[in-house]
Each structure stands twice: as C-alpha cells, then as structure tokens.
Copies of this chain bind each other. A is one copy, B any other.
C-alpha cells in the first residue's frame, strides 16, 4: 500500500480501542476510507451529509461512552462537522475528527476542495493536530504515530472531548485493484495511564467541618451520564443526612431526588436558599433554578469538575473540587456515616430544610397530576398533554433524547419516573436545534434499548438528513411535536408581543412528516386529537417492529394558553 503510514494510523486507532467510524464520501480521504472500511475491528458507516454524520457520531460516542471517529474529504466538508464538534466539546464527548486535506502548497491556489483547515475548529477541540503530507523521512512516520497516540489519549482523558487530526494527502492515494491492505500488528502504541484525583485527609477534614457547620445544604446535579452507583450514594446522603439532592431531567438521577423545581421554584421565597451548595455535572435546563440561586446566593458553592475552565453558573462559586462526583459523594457518605457512628445522634441534622424542599416537590407532583386530569385537555389536543401521556407510557430501560427548544423544557417539568431506569440525553452543550435527530439516531445504532426522541418540527426538519442513510435502526422512536413553527417564541414574553412573531420568530412552516417517514421507511402515526393519541400510544411506544414516528399536530396558540395556565396555576 502506497500510504502505509495512513493504514498504520488506522491500526493504531483500533489498537487504542476505536470501534466505530463514520465516513463521508470523498476522494481525498480515500486512503482513510479504505483503511477504516477494511479494518476487521472497526465498524464503519457511510453518511453523505457531514453535519449529520458528526452528530450521529456524537450520539454514538455519548451512548456507548467510547470514542468514535469521523472522516471526511478536504474543503468545506470539515466545516459541516463544526456544529457537532462544538456540541461534543461542551458535552465532553470523545470524537476523533479525521479531516483529509490537500498538501499545504495547494491552499488558495484555485484548485479543488481546498480551504484553511489547520485549527479549523478553533477552541472547540481539545487539540488540533496536523501531520505532514510526505512520509519519506522516518521522523515523519514517528510524528504520525506519536500524534495519533496523543490524540486518542487526549480525547479519552477527563474532561473528554473532540480532537482533530488534519491529514494532508498527496496523490496517488488509491491502492491498486486487488491490492491487499495490511494492518501492521506491531504499530507503536503509547498509553496514558488513567489517574484518579483524590483529596487529602486534611482537605476532607476541612470540608466535613463545613458540611457539619451548615444547616441548609443543597446538592444539585447538572447534566450528567446515567450512573446508578452515583444515584445510590446520593439517595443515601439525602435519606440518612437530610441533605436534599436536586436534579434536572438530564442529570439522570435515578432515585426520588427533587425534580419538580421548574413548577414550584418561581413561586418560592428565600426558605429554599442553601447556605452550602454542592454541584456536579454540566448545565442546568431549569431557568427558574438558575435564577433562584443567582438571587439567593449560597454562602459557599463547591463545584465538582475535572474541567480546567472556571465555570460559575450561579455566580456564587467559592471552591472548585477537581474530583469525580462518585469518589466525592462516596467518601462524603462514608465520612458522615463514621462521624455519626462516633458521635451518636447528638449532631444529627433536623431535616427541616429537606422537608421544605420535599413538601414543595409533593405539592408540585399533585398539581401536575391534577392539571392533566382537567377536562379541557379532552377538547382539543395540546402538546403538553400529549407529552405527558407519552412520557408516562415510555418503556422502562430505554433512552430518551430531548431536542432543544421546547421539547427539553416541557420534559423537565414532567420528568421520568426514577424506577423506569430511563437514560436521558440532550444536546445542552451548545443547546442548538441543529443535530438532535442525528444524535438520537447515532445512539440507537449503539444500543439494544429503545431510543425515544422528543422533537419539535423546526428541530426535526432542520436535521431531516439524519434519516437519509441506510442505517435507520428498528429501535428508534421519534415523537414529533408539529405545531408548524418555533412554538417557544410564542411562549416567551419578548417576541410574543412583536409584530415579527409569525414570520421572524415563530417562523411558521407547513411541512408534515408523512413523506419523510415514508422515504426513511418508518412506521408512521398521525395524531391530531385525543382519541388518536390514546389509540396510538401503546403501538408507538412498544419494542415491536421497525422504527416509528408519531407526528402530533397541535395548535401553537392553544399550546401557549395551556402552558401559561399550567405555570400560573401552581400555588406554593
């Protein structure tokens, strides 16, 4: 093979654990394409639209917790990766971005697909590497091998994230007909041993002293992976030490944590304000939670994060603890248990603060159930009601993907029942609507679980190319809320009062998804009233059969009224 170093690059990727690669068609990336496709241990997919390809890869990497490679030709192809690369960067998902390039000397020479690809993803990759186009000198080969090793190590080191390797390739780059591509078994591997960050006994002593000093302690989880062990530890901290634990739907806390804060917090006074706030995970969906904590600032705020950025979401941060949440809370539980054992009940927390939170939570739960049993929902179908019915009917042990804009917000009001063990995902790194369908499809390709996607019509049609490939898997279930526009703009105060609402904010659009479903060979359900909804839910949610799409058509004005009624009606 003419370009053996490129074949070896792929051999190194595989030896370092790469199992999946998405290739977008092109000629310049042919050596990479051929090496990836022929490698016996790498599963490859061919996706034409690079924007969708990169989001599919991100969904795969997020769901499988393993790095995925994407590979494209030179030119603007790489730029179509950028939205997903930025999302992966903020969500800390490992992607190996392989962009073929022309040799440097061909840039800006009016010749073919050539742009400035060096550092093309700006600050949205952990690092951008570049190899040379010529491999005649042994040092050049040393550079390639070292670079690939470093790139993969970096992508998989916390905080994980995308890395970029720009790969200039010189013609000819096709092997001869029937030429055998041989993967060198002895390619050079340089591992980076995983380390664990821990806190010293002295630091723990200080921290525990503070924990005991404060009456009102709140633990709050931002977006995070589904981690049953972490949930178990947090559940014990809440139950045994009366410290409330709160999480958005995307924090994936699988126990009875506080989760209905979107309903009750806008009506709450200072009584829920923490003195010590301990947070982990990434972003919070709940604007009311952020607003509340920015107003009622904690005296101390510890944030657990391995990220070097100083992230001060609530404008109250006092201390960064660069350790894993599981390590921290496990040790905290142990230490609190030990102190309790040593000191008996004398220093026990009185539980009032937890009580206040739990009372509000219970009230919100009752309110929600009552709200959806009101008779007006039966008259004309609204999307909030439809989502409630469907979320209640989701199969256990499934994945739920929430598209941005209203989908993720509605879902955060309703949450999923902890005992269903549903993993929840959303592209909250950059919160764009641009790749929600592709992300869910990517996830579905890596799991046997059912993968539900809740998505509005703008996000769905924006990313319709997610379904333009040969891989749409049977376990995909798309819940499409079609109110024919960006309903969110009607919901928020500012734009709803502007003359430009219809045309420039809501962006009314007429498309329905029946044809898309047909083209992509999805089983299609159409629902525009409550009877059809009731009749379809079970069949749609079930594991049986092929991929399905349920289109729920509602009226934006009605949706807005219902949601407003819901938000205003709660009495704290």
Contact = CB atoms under 8 A, between A and B. Distances in A.
B505 A25 contact: yes
B509 A468 contact: yes
Contacts of A493: 174
Nearest to A500: B37
A430 B82 contact: no
Interface stretch (A104-112, A210-218, A333-341, A415-423): A104-112
Interface stretch (A118-126, A369-377, A525-533, A556-564): A118-126
A459 B456 CA distance: 26
Contacts of A290: 111
Contacts of A110: 222, 282-284, 311, 313
A48 B87 CA distance: 19
Interface string A85-121: 0110010000000000000000011111111100110
Interface stretch (A61-69, A71-79, A239-247): A71-79
Interface stretch (A256-264, A349-357, A511-519, A536-544): A511-519
Given A25-B506, A48-B462, A113 B174 contact: no
Interface stretch (A27-35, A380-388, A447-455): A27-35
A495 interface: yes
A185 interface: no
This chain: copies in complex: 2
A494 B462 CA distance: 35
Given A46-B504, A108-B311, A83 B79 contact: yes
Contact of A495 (B27, B51, B120, B508): B27
Contact of A309 (B108, B174, B431, B464): B108
A266 interface: no
A344 to B, nearest CB: 40
Given A76-B83, A462-B48, A430 B174 contact: no
B511 A468 contact: yes
Contact of A122 (B44, B83, B119): B119
Given A76-B430, A110-B222, A49 B462 contact: yes
B462 A464 contact: no
A229 interface: no
13 contacts: A25-B489, A30-B495, A33-B500, A34-B504, A48-B507, A77-B432, A110-B222, A110-B283, A110-B313, A174-B494, A464-B464, A470-B508, A515-B518
Interface of A: 23, 25, 27, 30, 33-34, 37-38, 44, 46, 48-51, 75-77, 79-80, 82-83, 86-87, 90, 108-116, 119-120, 122-124, 172-177, 222, 282-284, 290, 309, 311-313, 430-432, 434, 458, 461-462, 464-465, 468-470, 486, 489, 492-495, 497-500, 503-509, 511, 515-516, 518-519
